[in-house]
Structure 1
Amino acid sequence: MRALLNIVMITMFLNTSTTFSQDDHTDLESLPKDSGGIHKANALGVTDAVYGHYIYTPSGYSKDSPKYPLLVFLHGSGERGNSKKSPDKLKKVIIHGPPKLIENKTWSPKYPMIVASPQLPSGNWKPEDIHDFITYLISNYHINTKRIYVTGLSLGGYGSFNYISKYSSSSYAAAIVPVAGGGDVNSGDKFTKVPVWAFHGDSDKVVPQKQSIDMITAINQANPNTKAKLTIYPDIGHDSWTKTYNAKGMGSESKSYDAFDMNIYDWMFMFKKQ
């Protein structure tokens, strides 16, 4: 019966759309301040999740607390590993992005978030597996399903774009932030209800900036509800993510593209499913 109820609730959720709600932070203001939570490693096979993963729960999190926003971070190709065979390989996930900030105790978004950082055993990020992973998280954690955000770097940037290309507004994501990635330029119309802010370095030789430029152009040509943004860093190579996730890139971006005028987490909080 409980499983059936979960399916009905998730189906109802998937039929909603993303809206701009800059002034509606009531659900966030009620969350207790995060004084440092728990960052737990779950090797592949330890849970029912399709991926081994790190999961961060803020200090005030409990089953009785208000529901928390969820940030899903998708790593790059160098962080792949099979933690079922070698549990220590899961540590590769925490060398970049939000999980690195958490481990370094420099994670301090304006509002607390649950952060899930899955690990690919091999291959590429598959939209269906990302979707199943988030379904698992919703079933096992106290998550505000109106506020689920997806970000990723390099291979994970592709994964972020591809997740929306597959599921469009039926995805769980209220907004996405792909960094140093790219996607299917023929799927621009899939992003009309999902806000996007992409980042890239103009000297990236691994994934040329054209990948992000072409993707954002395709999305905006489809007249999305919220114009897709693109921030480019001059004279920066493939690692455009460090200064994006820690916000130290603000002010160093190209004036020819969108300004890096607020941290990406505050930008995410501007959007939620209705």
Structure 2
Amino acid sequence: MNYKLSPFYIFLFIFSFGTKAQTTNDLLYEKKEFIVKSDTLLYRIMYPENFSESNQYPLVLFLHGAGERGNDNNTQLTHGSSLFASPENRLNYPAIVVFPQCPKNDYWANLSADRTVKPISFKFQNGGEPTKSLKLVMLLLDELLTKPYAKKNQIYVMGLSMGGMGTFEILSRRPTTFAAAIPICGGANPNTTKKYALNTELWIFHGAQDDVVNPQLSIEMVSSILAAGGTPNFTLFGKDNHNSWDSTFAEPNLLPWLFTRIKK
């Protein structure tokens, strides 16, 4: 006998599954505040199972996209947090994973944007003062790196969309810190790549049909890194629009590649 679920029960199943995943993330990622004088950075942090300060662990910094900005210290977990929180990945890749949250009136990268056109037209600065949010992230990172349990030769950064742009920017501002970086559907000023091209291994991702952040931005960054002597990995998903992070997180070699990058 065949049974057909009503749309209501299908919705209930999907909602229940999503709620369970979010609840798991809420439990695993501790809510924290990093305060510097009158400024506060909200962030979530997940420690490995059976965490011990006498051991050392890789550290992953994840920068979310513009849609996850806010002040709830929760929305930044929307994309990417489940990847690191799965039981299998926690077992195989024990790491300290940090998800800061950018407020709605700020960005990770120092840029201006013309949103009247599609894809959005971005103008990236080369140098200058970092945004307040990125400055706080770098100060938080500096503090975390003073901890004896942070493995200094396995510090990683990744991010999507606005966070992909922030990933490129933090590399240019901390060019000797990261063993590897994964910018997803991002971009930056190509002139900044010479600062880190020889110091950090990169795997850059974008969707060929992205109508929000032009894939040409990632192509230009790859070309500039190559010109500076770097050897980046680059994956362009032919059928993906802006949400190429879904295909990125489904890439089976993503975490094996990331956690085997060790800074010399």
Name the TM-score class by shorter chain. Answer: 0.7 to 0.9
Q: What root-mean-square deviation, in Å, do the aligned CA atoms of Structure 1 and Structure 2 show? A: 2.4
**Gapped runs of 5+ residues in structure 1?**
1-36, 83-88, 248-261
- Deviation per CA, 1:145-189, whole angstroms, max 9, x where unpaired? 1100000000000001011122322xx211100000001111221
Q: Structure 2 matches for 1:1-274, cutoff 5 A?
A: 38-43=28-33, 45=35, 51-64=41-54, 66-82=55-71, 89-97=72-80, 99-102=81-84, 107-108=89-90, 110-121=92-103, 122-125=105-108, 126=130, 127-140=134-147, 142-169=149-176, 172-190=177-195, 191-224=197-230, 227-247=231-251, 263-274=253-264
Once the two structures are aligned, what percentage of the paired residues are identical?
A: 32
Matches of 2:33 and 2:220, distance apart in 1: 37
Matches of 1:212 and 1:128, distance apart in 2: 24
Matches of 2:220 and 2:96, distance apart in 1: 32
CA 1:95–1:264 in 2, change beyond 3 Å: closer, same or farther?
same
Matches of 2:250 and 2:90, distance apart in 1: 10
> How many residues are matched?
211
What's the CA shift for 1:214? 0.4
Judge conservation of contact 1:69–1:144 (CA < 8 Å) in 2: yes
Judge conservation of contact 1:55–1:117 (CA < 8 Å) in 2: yes
Greater length-normalized contact order (CA 8 Å, ≥ 6 residues apart): 1
What's the CA shift for 1:246? 3.4
TM-score by length of 2: 0.73
Higher gyration radius (CA): 2
Judge conservation of contact 1:50–1:132 (CA < 8 Å) in 2: no
Q: Which amino acid aligns with 2:218?
A: S
Match of 2:92, SS state, is coil
TM-score by length of 1: 0.70
Match of 1:51, SS state, is strand
Match of 2:171, SS state, is helix
Matches of 1:51 and 1:75, distance apart in 2: 14
Match of 1:271, SS state, is coil
CA 1:71–1:77 in 2, change beyond 3 Å: closer, same or farther?
same
**Gapped runs of 5+ residues in structure 2?**
1-26, 109-129
Judge conservation of contact 2:28–2:85 (CA < 8 Å) in 1: no
